[in-house]
Amino acid sequence: MTNRTADALLFFRAWLSAPLRVASVTPSGRALSSLMIAEITSQTGTVIELGPGTGVFTDALLRQGVAEENLVLVEYGAEFANQLANRFPAAKTVQMDAAQLRKLPLHATAPVGAIVSGLPVLSMPMRKVYAILSGAFSHLRHGGAFYQFTYGPRCPISRPLLDRLGLKATYVGWTFANIPPAAVYRITQRRPKKPSEQRHQSELFDPPTDLSYGPAR
Protein backbone atom coordinates (compact mmCIF):
# COMPACT_ATOMS: atom_id res chain seq x y z
CA MET A 1 0.00 0.00 0.00
CA THR A 2 1.38 3.45 -0.90
CA ASN A 3 1.65 6.25 1.66
CA ARG A 4 -1.14 8.14 -0.11
CA THR A 5 -3.51 5.18 0.04
CA ALA A 6 -2.65 4.54 3.70
CA ASP A 7 -3.25 8.24 4.45
CA ALA A 8 -6.57 8.20 2.60
CA LEU A 9 -7.65 5.16 4.65
CA LEU A 10 -6.53 6.72 7.93
CA PHE A 11 -8.40 9.90 7.04
CA PHE A 12 -11.57 8.05 6.07
CA ARG A 13 -11.52 6.01 9.30
CA ALA A 14 -10.99 9.21 11.34
CA TRP A 15 -13.96 10.80 9.54
CA LEU A 16 -16.11 7.73 10.34
CA SER A 17 -15.33 8.04 14.05
CA ALA A 18 -15.47 11.87 14.25
CA PRO A 19 -17.28 13.31 11.20
CA LEU A 20 -17.74 16.83 12.63
CA ARG A 21 -14.09 17.15 13.68
CA VAL A 22 -12.60 15.76 10.47
CA ALA A 23 -15.28 17.33 8.23
CA SER A 24 -14.09 15.77 4.98
CA VAL A 25 -13.86 12.18 3.75
CA THR A 26 -10.51 12.68 2.06
CA PRO A 27 -7.38 14.80 2.60
CA SER A 28 -7.03 18.01 0.58
CA GLY A 29 -5.50 17.65 -2.87
CA ARG A 30 -2.33 19.14 -4.34
CA ALA A 31 -4.06 22.12 -5.97
CA LEU A 32 -5.61 23.29 -2.70
CA SER A 33 -2.34 22.64 -0.84
CA SER A 34 -0.46 24.84 -3.33
CA LEU A 35 -3.05 27.61 -3.02
CA MET A 36 -2.94 27.49 0.79
CA ILE A 37 0.81 27.94 1.01
CA ALA A 38 1.39 30.08 -2.13
CA GLU A 39 2.33 33.22 -0.15
CA ILE A 40 4.61 31.42 2.33
CA THR A 41 8.36 31.15 1.73
CA SER A 42 11.50 30.03 3.53
CA GLN A 43 11.68 33.64 4.85
CA THR A 44 8.27 33.52 6.58
CA GLY A 45 9.79 32.28 9.85
CA THR A 46 7.83 29.98 12.13
CA VAL A 47 4.65 28.58 10.58
CA ILE A 48 1.87 27.15 12.76
CA GLU A 49 -0.42 24.65 11.09
CA LEU A 50 -3.84 24.01 12.68
CA GLY A 51 -5.54 20.70 11.91
CA PRO A 52 -2.84 19.20 9.65
CA GLY A 53 -4.60 15.81 9.45
CA THR A 54 -2.33 13.54 7.41
CA GLY A 55 0.00 16.46 6.60
CA VAL A 56 -0.75 17.42 3.00
CA PHE A 57 -0.22 21.14 3.69
CA THR A 58 2.83 20.25 5.81
CA ASP A 59 4.39 18.46 2.82
CA ALA A 60 3.62 21.46 0.61
CA LEU A 61 5.25 23.84 3.12
CA LEU A 62 8.40 21.73 3.15
CA ARG A 63 8.48 21.66 -0.68
CA GLN A 64 8.13 25.46 -0.57
CA GLY A 65 11.36 25.66 1.43
CA VAL A 66 10.04 26.14 4.98
CA ALA A 67 12.46 24.41 7.37
CA GLU A 68 10.86 21.48 9.22
CA GLU A 69 12.11 22.83 12.56
CA ASN A 70 10.17 26.04 11.86
CA LEU A 71 6.87 24.14 11.80
CA VAL A 72 4.45 23.83 14.73
CA LEU A 73 1.69 21.28 14.06
CA VAL A 74 -1.43 21.60 16.23
CA GLU A 75 -3.74 18.61 15.82
CA TYR A 76 -6.57 17.43 18.06
CA GLY A 77 -6.90 13.88 16.72
CA ALA A 78 -4.53 11.36 18.33
CA GLU A 79 -4.57 9.20 15.17
CA PHE A 80 -3.19 12.13 13.14
CA ALA A 81 -0.93 13.64 15.83
CA ASN A 82 0.98 10.36 16.31
CA GLN A 83 1.59 9.97 12.60
CA LEU A 84 2.63 13.63 12.20
CA ALA A 85 5.17 13.31 15.04
CA ASN A 86 6.70 10.24 13.35
CA ARG A 87 6.69 11.70 9.87
CA PHE A 88 7.97 15.19 10.76
CA PRO A 89 10.33 14.57 13.72
CA ALA A 90 12.00 17.99 13.51
CA ALA A 91 8.67 19.83 13.65
CA LYS A 92 6.93 20.50 16.97
CA THR A 93 3.75 18.42 17.00
CA VAL A 94 1.25 19.27 19.72
CA GLN A 95 -1.91 17.25 20.31
CA MET A 96 -4.39 19.84 21.54
CA ASP A 97 -7.57 21.73 20.80
CA ALA A 98 -6.67 24.75 18.67
CA ALA A 99 -9.07 26.78 20.82
CA GLN A 100 -6.36 26.60 23.53
CA LEU A 101 -3.74 28.07 21.18
CA ARG A 102 -3.20 31.19 23.27
CA LYS A 103 -1.80 29.01 26.10
CA LEU A 104 0.67 27.18 23.83
CA PRO A 105 4.27 27.93 24.88
CA LEU A 106 6.07 28.26 21.55
CA HIS A 107 9.78 28.84 22.32
CA ALA A 108 10.16 29.39 18.57
CA THR A 109 13.50 30.62 17.27
CA ALA A 110 11.85 32.72 14.54
CA PRO A 111 8.72 34.90 14.91
CA VAL A 112 5.48 33.35 13.67
CA GLY A 113 4.93 34.69 10.14
CA ALA A 114 1.97 32.56 9.08
CA ILE A 115 -0.74 30.27 10.38
CA VAL A 116 -2.24 27.72 8.00
CA SER A 117 -5.61 26.42 9.10
CA GLY A 118 -7.30 23.26 7.87
CA LEU A 119 -9.82 23.51 10.72
CA PRO A 120 -13.51 22.98 9.93
CA VAL A 121 -14.47 26.43 11.25
CA LEU A 122 -17.89 26.36 9.56
CA SER A 123 -18.99 23.52 11.83
CA MET A 124 -17.59 25.13 15.00
CA PRO A 125 -19.51 27.29 17.49
CA MET A 126 -18.75 30.98 17.20
CA ARG A 127 -17.11 31.10 20.64
CA LYS A 128 -14.62 28.44 19.57
CA VAL A 129 -13.73 30.23 16.32
CA TYR A 130 -13.27 33.39 18.37
CA ALA A 131 -10.87 31.61 20.76
CA ILE A 132 -8.91 30.12 17.83
CA LEU A 133 -8.49 33.45 16.02
CA SER A 134 -7.76 35.37 19.19
CA GLY A 135 -5.11 32.80 20.17
CA ALA A 136 -3.66 32.72 16.66
CA PHE A 137 -3.21 36.50 16.49
CA SER A 138 -1.61 36.53 19.94
CA HIS A 139 1.25 34.49 18.39
CA LEU A 140 1.48 36.08 14.92
CA ARG A 141 4.08 38.78 14.37
CA HIS A 142 3.06 42.16 12.95
CA GLY A 143 2.16 41.71 9.31
CA GLY A 144 1.71 37.94 9.70
CA ALA A 145 -1.21 36.17 8.02
CA PHE A 146 -3.72 33.45 8.89
CA TYR A 147 -4.79 31.30 5.92
CA GLN A 148 -8.11 29.47 6.01
CA PHE A 149 -9.78 27.36 3.34
CA THR A 150 -13.47 26.75 2.97
CA TYR A 151 -15.82 24.65 0.87
CA GLY A 152 -18.45 27.39 1.23
CA PRO A 153 -19.22 30.30 -1.12
CA ARG A 154 -17.76 33.04 1.13
CA CYS A 155 -15.28 33.62 3.93
CA PRO A 156 -16.13 31.18 6.76
CA ILE A 157 -15.27 33.74 9.46
CA SER A 158 -18.26 35.98 10.17
CA ARG A 159 -18.01 39.73 9.60
CA PRO A 160 -18.95 40.65 13.22
CA LEU A 161 -16.21 38.37 14.49
CA LEU A 162 -13.62 39.86 12.13
CA ASP A 163 -14.74 43.37 13.15
CA ARG A 164 -14.54 42.55 16.84
CA LEU A 165 -10.94 41.36 16.50
CA GLY A 166 -9.91 44.17 14.12
CA LEU A 167 -9.24 41.71 11.29
CA LYS A 168 -9.96 41.65 7.59
CA ALA A 169 -10.37 38.73 5.19
CA THR A 170 -9.01 38.83 1.65
CA TYR A 171 -9.90 36.28 -1.01
CA VAL A 172 -6.73 34.51 -2.21
CA GLY A 173 -8.15 32.13 -4.79
CA TRP A 174 -10.31 29.18 -5.58
CA THR A 175 -9.64 25.71 -6.99
CA PHE A 176 -12.01 23.36 -8.72
CA ALA A 177 -9.35 20.63 -8.62
CA ASN A 178 -10.21 19.52 -5.10
CA ILE A 179 -12.89 17.25 -3.65
CA PRO A 180 -14.93 19.29 -2.93
CA PRO A 181 -13.82 22.54 -4.67
CA ALA A 182 -12.47 25.06 -2.15
CA ALA A 183 -11.50 28.72 -1.70
CA VAL A 184 -8.69 30.21 0.38
CA TYR A 185 -8.83 33.43 2.44
CA ARG A 186 -6.00 35.43 4.01
CA ILE A 187 -6.93 36.97 7.36
CA THR A 188 -4.80 39.83 8.62
CA GLN A 189 -4.94 42.70 11.06
CA ARG A 190 -6.52 45.84 9.64
CA ARG A 191 -3.61 47.93 10.85
CA PRO A 192 -0.50 47.29 12.92
CA LYS A 193 -1.16 46.33 16.53
CA LYS A 194 -0.60 49.15 19.02
CA PRO A 195 0.14 48.27 22.66
CA SER A 196 -3.31 49.52 23.71
CA GLU A 197 -4.94 47.19 21.14
CA GLN A 198 -2.92 44.22 22.35
CA ARG A 199 -4.36 44.78 25.80
CA HIS A 200 -7.81 45.19 24.28
CA GLN A 201 -7.47 41.87 22.41
CA SER A 202 -6.65 39.89 25.51
CA GLU A 203 -9.56 41.50 27.33
CA LEU A 204 -11.69 40.21 24.48
CA PHE A 205 -10.60 36.62 24.98
CA ASP A 206 -13.98 35.89 26.54
CA PRO A 207 -16.12 36.42 23.48
CA PRO A 208 -19.06 38.75 23.64
CA THR A 209 -22.52 37.25 23.51
CA ASP A 210 -23.95 39.81 21.12
CA LEU A 211 -22.34 38.47 17.91
CA SER A 212 -24.62 36.87 15.39
CA TYR A 213 -22.86 34.13 13.46
CA GLY A 214 -23.45 35.12 9.88
CA PRO A 215 -20.78 34.76 7.17
CA ALA A 216 -18.67 37.75 6.12
CA ARG A 217 -19.54 39.17 2.70
Ligand X SMILES: C[S@@+](CC[C@H](N)C(=O)[O-])C[C@H]1O[C@@H](n2cnc3c(N)ncnc32)[C@H](O)[C@@H]1O
Q: Give residues in contact with ligand X (CB under 6 A).
A: 21-24, 27-28, 50-53, 56-57, 74-77, 80, 97-99, 118-120
In the bound state with ligand X, the residue whose beta carbon lies nearer, of 77 and 156, is 77
Strands 46-50 and 140-150 turn out to be unpaired
Q: DSSP assignment, residue 39?
A: T
To ligand X, the closest distance from the beta carbon of 142 in angstroms equals 25
Dihedral (CA of 10, 13, 14, 19) sign? positive
- Shortest distance (Å) from residue 52 CB to ligand X: 5
Sign of the torsion formed by the C-alpha atoms of 10, 11, 17 and 21: positive
Instruction: Give min distance, CB of 73 to ligand X, in A.
Output: 10
Which helix (H) or strand (E) segment is 129 a member of?
helix 126-139
Q: What single letter denotes the amino acid at residue 28?
A: S
Question: What CA–CA distance (Å, rounded) separates 116 from 91?
Answer: 15
C-beta closer to ligand X: residue 80 or 137: 80
**Distances in whole angstroms, Cα of residue 117 to Cα of each of 33, 39, 55, 147, 197:** 11, 14, 12, 6, 24
Cα(70)–Cα(92) distance, integer angstroms: 8
Q: Which CB atom, from 98 or from 145, has the smaller least distance to ligand X?
A: 98
Q: 50 or 169: whose CB is closer to ligand X?
A: 50
CB closer to ligand X, 94 vs 165:
94
Shortest gap between Cβ of 199 and ligand X (angstroms)? 26
Closest contact distance (angstroms) between CB of 196 and ligand X is 30
